């Protein structure tokens, strides 16, 4: 899930813009024929910042291995069910991650 998200160009650009406090982000989707959405972000939350950091590391690192420790810690704060390293479905992680970032808007 995280590897796929890190390879999503629109998400990378939105996270880059969301990192700056007071930014207004314009989301357009010509494929869905929707009107553009304007979202004003006062200050990015810890989950959003952790996601930005992770995506940046995935794109820029030459190490070969990237561990999402901080991102996972932030997800666990929003969804306690992920603590303890029990097996979870990837779609649950995706849902809690995206819902948690949206709640920080």
Q: Rounded to an integer, what distance in angstroms lies between the CA atom of residue 44 and that of residue 2?
A: 19
Q: Provide the whole-model pTM.
A: 0.75
Q: What is the pLDDT of residue 7?
A: 87
Q: Which positions of the chain have pLDDT values less than 70?
A: 29-33, 61, 63, 85-86, 105
Cα-Cα-Cα-Cα torsion 9, 45, 95, 69, nearest 10 degrees, comes to 80
- Which residue's structure tokens are 């991650």? 97
């Amino acid at each position: 899930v995280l590897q796929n998200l890190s390879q999503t160009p629109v998400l990378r650009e939105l996270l880059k813009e969301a990192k700056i406090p007071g930014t207004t982000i314009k989301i357009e989707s010509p494929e869905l024929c929707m009107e553009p959405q304007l979202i004003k972000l006062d200050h990015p939350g810890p989950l959003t910042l952790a996601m930005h950091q992770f995506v940046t590391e995935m794109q820029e690192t030459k190490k070969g291995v990237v561990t999402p420790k901080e991102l996972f810690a932030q997800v666990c704060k929003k969804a306690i069910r992920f603590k303890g390293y029990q097996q979870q479905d990837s779609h649950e992680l995706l849902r809690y991650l995206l819902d948690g970032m949206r709640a920080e808007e």
